[in-house]
Amino acid sequence: MFKDNFIKELSKITPDDGTKNYVLRQMNEVQKGQTKVKTRYRFTKKTRSFKAAVATVLCICIIALSTWIAAPSVNSGIITSSVSEGVPANVTYSGIYNLFSSIYKVQEAPKNVWDVIEKFFGLNFSLSAAPFGCGAADGSADFSKDVTEDITDAETSSTVLEDTEDYSTTNRQVNDVDEADIIKTDGKYIYTLNNENDMVYITRADKGKLKDAVMFSASMTEAASINYSQVEEMYVSSDRLIVIGTDSSDYDNTVTKSLIYDISDPENPKFKKSFAQSGNYISSRLVGDVLYMFTDKAFYDKPIEDDVSTYIPMLYETAAPDCPIPENNIFLFSGEIDRSYLIVTSVDCKEAKRIDSKTTLGGGDTVYANTESVYVAAKETSYHYLTDSILLEKYRDTTRLIRFGIDKDKLTAAAEGAVRGEILNQFSMDEHNGYFRIVTTVAGRITEGESTKKSFASTLSETTNALFVLDRDLKQVGSIVNLAPDERVYSVRFIGDYGYFVTYREVDPLFSVDISDPKSPKLLSALKIPGFSEYLHPYDDGLLLGIGKEDNYVKLSMFDISDPSMVLEKDKLICYSSSYSTASNHKAVLVNKEKNIIGFAGSDDYFIYSYDKEKGFVQRAKLPYVIKNEQNPDYSLSYSDVENTRGLYIGDYFYLCNLRGITSYSIDDFELVTQYSF
């Protein structure tokens, strides 16, 4: 009878039609490649009304950020670390909040971290007497003695190509900080990571000619049954190939792995070592030879006292014992905390050696990194109750921030803070001359002297946008708040002392704001233009490229930003391709001023434009994703073809790469040179 009753009761639990309809629409949009749907935070009243807005419009706010911002003027947006504010009285862990707030010191691990973890996870034991960990910088095994494994028979004697020609790199936010992608080049070879079959293809590209060098499997797991591993992205740096992926063959314990290969001879890659850490992949960065990996690990089951892996994130590496993150590397956020950890590790890829690891309770989801600091932002979910028992909706209106100092030898948990509002993506954050800048969309208005407690009635009725300037300790020094009411940030880019951002709704003013005097930001100009930009890219001195949409077609804009008080849309061009949101993945965009190339994926073709100050945008080529031939007699274009296509150049040749193969063109006239299928 249990079974019958269970089935009967559970059958009543179904998604309502509104939800179904909404999900189907999202699926449809993703399928058409139009939208990058942000995960979660979808079912609020607010979001729905945005989706319902038929006319989308743009405004650009230009903010001159002065680096000498010194006088803190507006404090209203910052969240202080007051702890139990806004927490209902009957929260189970109310005692812990105070504990966290009183012991939290980000510079050093609190002495009684174990007391906290014990209570936090409802454990009843004491570990404080028995510290664990792998010892400081242990595992510094001699690289030459490491396990190496030939992947291929060394049959090819690699031909030495002449000096590497000029070639393109993955489109990244910060110049010296590499970002992972599925297609990479080192100027001689093109590396393709196929996330559908976990294979790496290495193809030699020599003056447009393509020759297969080698292919091998970079699978994250040896589990044979149903394959739940997933390769994500890779790096190619000097003579290392690094493949990043997740292995969730044990579904309770997803780990993120990096496999390091020696490609000093790219035609004969050798597996060197793999490093892994608990949690789902958030992002990664490569600075010089040092790989930084960010994962998020939630613990949800009652921990087992004897099994440290049930409440502390673990580190794994080839030929070394599994070890939990050392206790003096565990940090705690103040304020409300999720039972999930953000885990940051650094690995020297050249030496195949783990350098450091840090973890903080509280999770994270977006990463900004330059060569000195890493900022990780975490969106906080708040639940809004109509009464004690009825959940009206949940919303996100606080972005928690943590800064890590990065160094060749170590990671330092340096500061924590929080701002009001929700960020769009990694471009919402930037650091310049020691100041951190962040643009957010805020539910409601920020009034001066306001605490974190908000009147829900007002927060739900409108949104505003804000820019905060924080110092390296993540204390607010300046801000502009209540910008563009009822609109939402759509793209952001910081260039030196200036910040640009696009918001949208039904009307389309283009704002220009000067905050060189942080005490009194001034509105400089307002201009109306149709359409909106989803990705902003500094193109040349005084020029800012925007890629976005107008009337559902791709729109290219060139903004003249030489005079911030008079920003103009200098040129624009509508590309009559039903729009594919290149903005959803900046790595799929190729922009190079010297070669005069602007490349991006349209819904049916890959487009290449050039820009000339007199002539404006000129279409140079429209390349098919897949060329019909004997191997592809009747292909049909799939979402994967569009999403996984990258354009790159080496010397005088342009290569269009996706998971099916590579096509090469002469870069001058885009004449087809050759085509190569995997």
Partner 1 sequence: MLFFWTLSSMEGQCKTGENALIDPAAAFETYSDMVYRLAFIRTGNKADADDILSEVFLRLVKNVHKIKSEEHLKPWLIRVTLNCSNSFLGSIKRRRQTEYSEADRAVFMEENSVLPAVLRLPEHQKCIVYMYYFEGYSVEEISKICSVPVGTVKSRLSRARDTLRLELKGENLDV
Q: For 541-571, give the DSSP string.
A: TTEEEEEEEETTEEEEEEEE-SSGGG-EEEE
Beta-bridge partner residues of 247: 229, 255
Of the residues 68, 385, 475, 628, which one makes contact with partner 1 according to CB under 8 A: 385
Q: Residues with Cβ < 8 Å from 536, sequence gap 6 or more?
A: 427, 491, 492, 493, 500, 502, 544, 545, 546
Q: List binders of partner 1 among 77-96 (CB under 8 A).
A: 87-88, 90-93
In the complex, least distance from residue 66 CB atom to partner 1, rounded to whole angstroms: 38
**Closest CA relative to residue 338, chosen from 364, 312, 319, 306:** 364
Which of the ranges 163-171, 172-180, 391-399, 510-518 carries the binding residues for partner 1, by CB under 8 A? Answer: 391-399
**Considering beta carbons, is residue 81 or 158 the nearer one to partner 1?**
81
Q: Any contact of residue 541 with partner 1 (CB under 8 A)?
A: no
Which of the ranges 243-251, 255-263, 469-477, 593-601 carries the binding residues for partner 1, by CB under 8 A? Answer: 243-251
CA distance 476 to 440: 14
In the complex, least distance from residue 639 CB atom to partner 1, rounded to whole angstroms: 6
Q: Any contact of residue 118 with partner 1 (CB under 8 A)?
A: no
Contact string 136-175 vs partner 1 (x = CB under 8 A): ----------------------------------------
Q: Any contact of residue 125 with partner 1 (CB under 8 A)?
A: no
In the complex, least distance from residue 89 CB atom to partner 1, rounded to whole angstroms: 10
Q: List binders of partner 1 among 214-233 (CB under 8 A).
A: 223, 225-226, 228
Beta-bridge partner residues of 191: 184, 202
Q: Any contact of residue 316 with partner 1 (CB under 8 A)?
A: no
Contact string 271-300 vs partner 1 (x = CB under 8 A): ---------x---------------x-xxx
Q: Any contact of residue 9 with partner 1 (CB under 8 A)?
A: yes
CA distance 612 to 511: 26
Q: Do 272 and 352 touch, CB atoms closer than 8 A?
A: yes
**Closest CA relative to residue 354, chosen from 383, 319, 327, 382:** 319
Of the residues 56, 537, 643, 676, which one makes contact with partner 1 according to CB under 8 A: 643
**Considering beta carbons, is residue 31 or 552 the nearer one to partner 1?**
31
Q: Any contact of residue 248 with partner 1 (CB under 8 A)?
A: yes
Instruction: Determine the distance from the C-alpha atom of residue 2 to the mean position of all C-alpha atoms in its chain, rounded to a whole number.
Output: 46
**How many C-beta neighbours within 10 Å does residue 15 have?**
10
Q: Any contact of residue 630 with partner 1 (CB under 8 A)?
A: no
In the complex, least distance from residue 453 CB atom to partner 1, rounded to whole angstroms: 16
Strand order in the sheet with 653-657: 646-650, 653-657, 661-666, 672-677
Q: How many residues bind partner 1 (CB under 8 A)?
A: 79
Radius of gyration of the chain (CA): 26
Question: Nearest 5°: CA angle at 615, between 611 and 620?
Answer: 50
Q: Do 366 and 423 touch, CB atoms closer than 8 A?
A: yes
Q: Any contact of residue 636 with partner 1 (CB under 8 A)?
A: yes
Q: Are strands 270-278 and 435-443 parallel, antiparallel or unpaired?
A: unpaired
In the complex, least distance from residue 663 CB atom to partner 1, rounded to whole angstroms: 18
In the complex, least distance from residue 336 CB atom to partner 1, rounded to whole angstroms: 6
Q: How far is CA 612 from CA 180, 540, 616, in A?
A: 31, 11, 5
Q: List binders of partner 1 among 19-58 (CB under 8 A).
A: 19-28, 30-32, 37, 39-43
